[in-house]
Structure 1
Amino acid sequence: MALIVMMLHVVAHAMMRHFFDAPIYGTNELVAYWYLPAVALLGIPAAQLRNEQITVSLLVDRMKPMSALIFKVFGCVLGSIIALGFAWFGLGEAMEKMEIRATAGVVDIVAWPVYFLVPIVFVLLAILYVIDMVMSIRARAPEVDLVAGTTAEHETEEDSAL
């Protein structure tokens, strides 16, 4: 949604600048300080939820399911710790920006609320890692679909030939 709004805003800005010589005030700052952080940060937990992040599973695909599950649990614990670390440091930065009432560049567009996206997104990511880990342990399967709550099926060569 933020991507569509950003696109419409930038197009309207370009049209106003070109046809009426009156660009929309603060477009560059709104894009840089509001739209892009929202698009980039909200995509992180969305990718985790849909299991669409980039993975290199060369080693894990060759393991027995229980060994792969152990690696999955380790990865989820490590991912949660790292995400909570980013959230903690992001919260400190957001609090500092709130105290000084940070604005976007040299214009007076308020920018400090966007900094709170970092801790919110990374706490959400840590929660998703924990949910993924718990569901994997309960299913005794290394890959689960967080949305459907079922184990993910691997496509075999026979399936792809059909």
Structure 2
Amino acid sequence: MQTLDNFLGRLGRWLAWAAVACLVLMMVEVCLDVAGRFLLSMPMPSTLEIVSEWWMPALIFLPLLNVEWRDENIAVDILHQRLNPRWRAACDAFALLCFGLFLWLIAYAGFEQAMRAARQGEFIVGMIPVITWPPRFFLPVAGCLTGLLCLVRALGAVRVAVTGRGGYLPNTLDSKGSHLG
């Protein structure tokens, strides 16, 4: 399980870097659009469509796996932090299973929509036609991979809840995969 967790962590970092590249490209595109609009009276064609259909979904969905792998989702743990480690692990296992199931359901629905868009060759007509079906796959891919990570982490949390040993989050493991505390 630790090997799969580490693989998903590396993949999550690559996807986060892809999102960073999309952010840079989006900033360059918007700056060129604004400069062209005000300096040359020639805006870049279909900037709004490209930003909203390509760059924004990439920025939202591509880093999702990395955020979950690093355990950086927003959490309110007023009671959670007061539980003993085994009960905390049991609560985490339940939450991870629920979140993973939710992500898989969203990914399934997103995959159906992405396949429909791909079959139709979906595009938007702005100043130039913008193909919009490829970024529809960002949600199902990110949701499926993050759901898989949640399952792996939930199994680790169940092991901690039952045995009191092991870890399931990167910040609770030492270099040998043992629980730190």
TM-score, normalisation: structure 1: 0.84
Match of 1:145 in 2: 170
Separation (CA, whole Å) in 2 of partners of 1:22 and 1:152: 59
Q: Secondary structure at 2:78's aligned position in 1?
A: coil
Separation (CA, whole Å) in 1 of partners of 2:131 and 2:137: 13
Matching residue's letter, 2:153: D
Separation (CA, whole Å) in 1 of partners of 2:159 and 2:87: 15
1:41 aligns with 2:66: no
Matching residue's letter, 1:144: L
Post-superposition CA distance 1:45-68 (Å, at most 9, x none)? 221011111001111111111111
Q: Which ranges of structure 1 fall in alignment gaps of 5 or more residues?
A: 154-162
Post-superposition CA distance 1:5-26 (Å, at most 9, x none)? 1111100111111111111111
RMSD of aligned Cα (Å)? 2.2
Match of 1:122 in 2: 143
Percent identity between matched residues is 22
Q: 2:155 aligns with which of 134, 137, 145?
A: 134
Match of 2:131 in 1: 110
Q: Which ranges of structure 2 fall in alignment gaps of 5 or more residues?
A: 1-19
Match of 2:72 in 1: 52
Match of 1:89 in 2: 109
TM-score, normalisation: structure 2: 0.76
Verify the 8 A CA contact 1:33 1:104 in the aligned structure 2. no
Separation (CA, whole Å) in 2 of partners of 1:138 and 1:67: 12
Verify the 8 A CA contact 2:96 2:154 in the aligned structure 1. yes
Verify the 8 A CA contact 2:29 2:47 in the aligned structure 1. yes
Verify the 8 A CA contact 1:69 1:136 in the aligned structure 2. yes
Q: Which moved more, 1:32-41 or 1:45-54?
A: 45-54
Q: Secondary structure at 2:129's aligned position in 1?
A: coil
